[in-house]
Amino acid sequence: MNGGEGRRSREAVRNSIRSYGVKVMDSASLPLKKNTKQTESQESVSRFSEKSLHSQYDIREGSCKEIVLRIPYGSLFGTFLCILGLVLAIISFTRITSLEEMMYKDVLKRDPEPELVRQIYSIVTYTLTGALAILSLIIGFLSTGDTRAEVHNTWKAKLGGRITCGILLFASFVLLFSWLMGCFYTGWGFNMHRIDRDNCDAYTNDKSRCLPIPFETDKRRRELCDGQEIKKFCKDYTEKALNSFAIFGCGSLFVTISMSIFICCLAANYTMIRLESKLQELEELGPRRF
């Protein structure tokens, strides 16, 4: 009795609800709950499907592409050229210094002229050039590809990157001027020893006269008349010094070219760091068809 009255009361409630336009769903029409265990098993199996296996190769290919895009080829080439030029310049400069010391002691019979200023200038220039090459390469890696967005993601990082690029740009211009002075020094030394070699060639054809040394500051030693001294001056000093100056000139030229490359790369890195947000907006817009 109570059961029949309960069913009738529920039917009355449903009819009153339907009268207001509300849809009432029976328990039979409710959607069945999915089997979560079966779904999890299907997802676990899909990890070993053909598509997921091939996607691993796509990820590897993409990672290699990202690595390639993160390499600053300009700064890398400039650093290689700078190190090569530095090695040639240091070896040849050391050789020139030892040859000059030998000439003063064995041929001109006097103490070598003080070369402290030139040696300090050369050591400082070589050290700053090597440091600039390394720092420019580091800045190049930090300002290329996706690394730029990962490192310079705040305004402080962008400001620090721009200040660093500006300082290195100024140092590059100063060192470029210094190495241009080195190129002029090479030209002067090469021309001086070429004249000495021409005098030595003329002396071998006519040994009846003394050998002139036009660039000697001591007037008493502007001519060599002893055959042994002339041999040392021509064979042991002039020929070797001429070759050393030629090598030093090649090294200075390599470093000068690398300084020009660093100036271009640092200016580009400065601009990329400054306009990073605008570049990201352009990349998000994607290519447009006109």
pLDDT digits (tens, 9 = 90+) for 242-273: 889 999 999 999 999 999 999 999 998 888 77
Does residue 276 surpass a pLDDT of 60? yes
Does residue 289 surpass a pLDDT of 90? no
Looking at residue 217, the DSSP 8-state letter turns out to be S
Burial tier of 136 (Cβ tally within 10 Å: 0-12, 13-18, 19+): buried
Q: What is the mean pLDDT of residues 227-254?
A: 85
**In the chain, how many domains are there?**
1
Does residue 27 surpass a pLDDT of 70? no
Residue type, 4: G
Domain-embedded: residue 213: yes
Domain-embedded: residue 174: yes
Domain-embedded: residue 54: no
**36 Cβ contact partners less than 8 Å away, ≥ 6 residues apart:** none
Domain-embedded: residue 42: no
Main-chain phi, psi angles of 223, to 5 degrees = -140, 140
Does residue 62 surpass a pLDDT of 60? no
Looking at residue 194, the DSSP 8-state letter turns out to be H
**Segment among 25-34, 78-87, 146-155, 235-244 with least mean pLDDT:** 25-34
Domain-embedded: residue 8: no
**75 Cβ contact partners less than 8 Å away, ≥ 6 residues apart:** 136, 137, 139, 140, 141, 261, 262, 265
Which residue range forms the structural domain that includes residue 246? 72-285
Does residue 111 surpass a pLDDT of 50? yes
